[in-house]
Amino acid sequence: MPQLNGGGGDDLGANDEMISFKDEGEQEEKISENVSAERDLDDVKSSLVNESESSSDSEQAERRPQTRPDTESYEKARDYFSEALRRQQDGGFFKSPHYPGYPFLMIPDLTNPYLSNGSLSPSARTYLQMKWPLLDVPGSAGLKDSRSPTPGHLVSRYFLSKQQTRSGPNSRGVKAYGLSNKVPVVQHAHHVHPLTPLITYSNEHFSPGTPPSHLSPEILDPKTGIPRTPHPSELSPYYPLSPGAVGSIAHPLGWLMQQQGQPMYSIPPGGFRHPYPALAMNASMSSLVSSRFSPHMVTPPPHGLHQTGIPHPAIVSPAIKQEPKQYKNAFNLHCKSPVPPKKEEDKRPHIKKPLNAFMLYMKEMRAKVVAECTLKESAAINQILGRRWHSLSREEQAKYYELARKERQLHSQLYPGWSARDNYGKRKKRKRDNKPDSKPEDFSIRSKKQCVQYLPSEKMCDSPASSHGSMLDSPATPSAALASPAAPAATHSEQAQPLSLTTKPEGRMHHHFSLAGKASGSTSSSSSSSSSSSSSQPISIPIGTSGSQPTTPILTRPIPFASLHHSMLSPPSPFHQAALHSHHALFQSQPLSLVTKPTE
DNA sequence: TTCCCTTTGAAGATA
DNA sequence: TATCTTCAAAGGGAA
């Protein structure tokens, strides 16, 4: 298993994402990987064709100076990040020409981010470059807003580091990935911190000029008029780090530092005052950013001030969603806001959950899948993505697990008091219809919709992974085996039928009481070995079954005929052709007969 | 306008 | 401890 972090030292899920594949089916797994690799190659080819076609235009656009840095969304930053990942995935190695200014790497040697002289190692800087491109991106330097007071020392030796970036002892080496130089540029004057793109939980509610109320402690609340703690002019109200967390906050790369035996940064009082307090919000982060400053030089936030003001994308407008209590409490601890808890609660932003590995993958690959397929429904796209996720190699998935882990870590640092529970109830509760004692009316509600599987069109778009397995496209490697050890181990039945995309295990169906769609959650965690098919199950058409275990496609939703037709009857791209070829035998018998309606 | 669908994973809740 | 539930993204579709 790839141990990207060098093992140990990570209390936030270290080693949790990578677990060994199941022993059984190891051969198949390898075959699957080979097939997957070949498919990836095909993907690369097709994607390269597409990219080459569109790159000329996009490149020109990308090369234009960014003049709206303040509006650059963090989401985009993540997209760029994802793009880099995708390129890594496709090409495996850095393809710099297109995105010379945005290297990305998997920082295998970040375990030692500092050089002997205290400066960041090239790879560490490159990683920071990836994470906080505005800090040190020559490509973006030219894009920086002229008003940006970014100190020169922050505009660091990117070129040097880039030159130095190379493969390390790790077999995977240091990979730099080109990213579009559409780097989100910060307009500091508008209180958008360069670190804004650090995490892209959501950007829609981050208005540079109107940071969340709790993030601008020095200003009168426009609504309440309640004055807030002013901060020094040189301080930028950005990251909502809690004060308690500031002093003792772990380095964003603390998992790396710790591995190296270095302690978490403890910020001594009165020290270096960073011209960009927002950067110093995470003191060590700042120090990492600037190789000039060793970690211990970073100053703590001014008393009582949550020096952090970076509007985090994970924060959603309080008007829409309410902030969790824990976060509110944690914030109040240091915010000293006189705002009554009640009002404060109303204004609490909604802090979204950090994205997990699959979500990151999904965000990255969605556009690609959409481009390859004619499907537009996200449900169908997600099915494809789910399968592709399973088809990814361990290393490929490891990248996303690692990213997800970092996101969680950063998220936990940004919102120490936040809990996933805080977001409970923010959404409308889903129908709980998968309980064993579900009442008939539950199912009736559920089965009101026409059910059909996205399988046909998906088959046209998705990988030909099914060509080797008995479970259609199910790779020999279940996600459970790839997932973090924290995740419940998949049962044997699940391993045998890991994918619920085209052929959901009947056990699961039984478990979900014959629900056509995914019963609320539990898709990945529930494990049922029952293979009995309920009479109330949606009509199932066994297809592509080979092997002892019959597979039953779940017909969940009607396929848009346009998409179906387009996908099935006109596969124009090589990818489609390849997919068609690989699945021809599989679907030649019943390719288009999935539209049905469950009996009431 | 709101919810559903669909995926996997993380985390909290519950038995 | 094991299982279940909720939420994260996305966007078309349905109500």
Protein CB footprint (7 Å) on chain C nucleotides: 2-15
* Amino acid type, A324: P
Nucleotide nearest to A355 (CA to C1'): C8
pLDDT of residue A350: 82
Helix axes A74-91, A26-63, angle to 10 degrees: 130
C1’ B7 / CA A308, Å: 35
Name the nucleotide nearest A427; use CA and C1'.
Answer: C7
Q: Measure A422 CA to C2 C1' (Å).
A: 24
> Which bases of chain B come closer than 7 Å to a protein CB?
2-13
Q: Is the CB of A522 under 7 A from strand C?
A: yes
Residue A425: its pLDDT value, please? 80
CA–C1' A526–C6 (A): 14
Nucleotide with C1' nearest the A520 CA: C5
- What residue has its CA nearest to the C1' of B5? A379
Query: Distance from residue A18 (CA) to nucleotide B7 (C1'), in Å?
Result: 20
- Report residue A332 as tokens: 């109040």
> Which residues is A165 bridged to in the sheet?
none
Residue A238 is predicted with a pLDDT of 30
Tell me the pTM: 0.43
Closest nucleotide to A379: CA versus each C1': B6
Cβ of A501 near strand C (distance < 7 A): no
The answer to whether the CB of A134 falls within 8 A of the CB of A185 is yes
Amino acid A528 CA to nucleotide B14 C1' distance, rounded Å:
18
CA distances from A409 to A127, A246, A366, A471, A481 (A): 15, 15, 25, 36, 22
Give the whole-angstrom CA distance, residue A212 versus residue A214: 5
Which pLDDT value is given to residue A424? 83
Q: How far is the CA of A480 from the C1' of C1 (A)?
A: 18
- Cβ of A424 near strand C (under 7 Å)? The reply is yes
Residuewise pLDDT in 10s, chain A (600 residues): 333 333 333 333 333 333 333 333 333 344 444 444 444 434 434 443 343 333 333 333 333 333 333 334 444 444 444 444 444 444 333 333 232 222 233 333 333 333 333 333 333 333 333 333 333 333 333 333 333 333 233 222 222 232 232 223 232 222 222 233 333 323 233 333 333 334 444 443 333 333 333 333 333 333 333 333 333 332 232 333 333 333 333 333 333 333 333 322 222 233 223 322 333 333 333 332 332 222 232 333 333 333 334 455 566 654 333 333 333 333 333 333 333 344 554 556 788 899 999 999 999 999 889 888 888 888 999 999 999 999 999 989 999 999 999 999 999 888 888 888 888 887 665 443 433 333 333 333 333 333 345 444 434 454 433 333 333 333 333 333 333 333 333 333 333 333 333 333 333 333 333 333 333 333 333 333 333 333 333 323 232 333 333 333 333 333 333 333 333 323 333 333 333 343 333 333 333 232 323 332
pLDDT of residue A358: 94
CA of A61 to C1' of B11 (A): 41
Q: Which of residues 276-335 of A touch strand C (CB under 7 A)?
A: none
Q: Which residue's C-alpha is at the least distance from the C1' of B3?
A: A428
Structural tokens at position A327 = 């976060």
Give yes or no for a contact between A285 and A299, defined as CB atoms under 8 angstroms apart. no
- A386 Cβ within 7 A of any nucleic strand C atom: no
**Half-sphere exposure (CA, 13 Å, Cβ side) for A595?**
8
Per the structure, the residue whose CA is closest to nucleotide B9 at C1' is A356
Residue A486: CB less than 7 A from any atom in strand C:
no
What's at A303, amino acid-wise? H
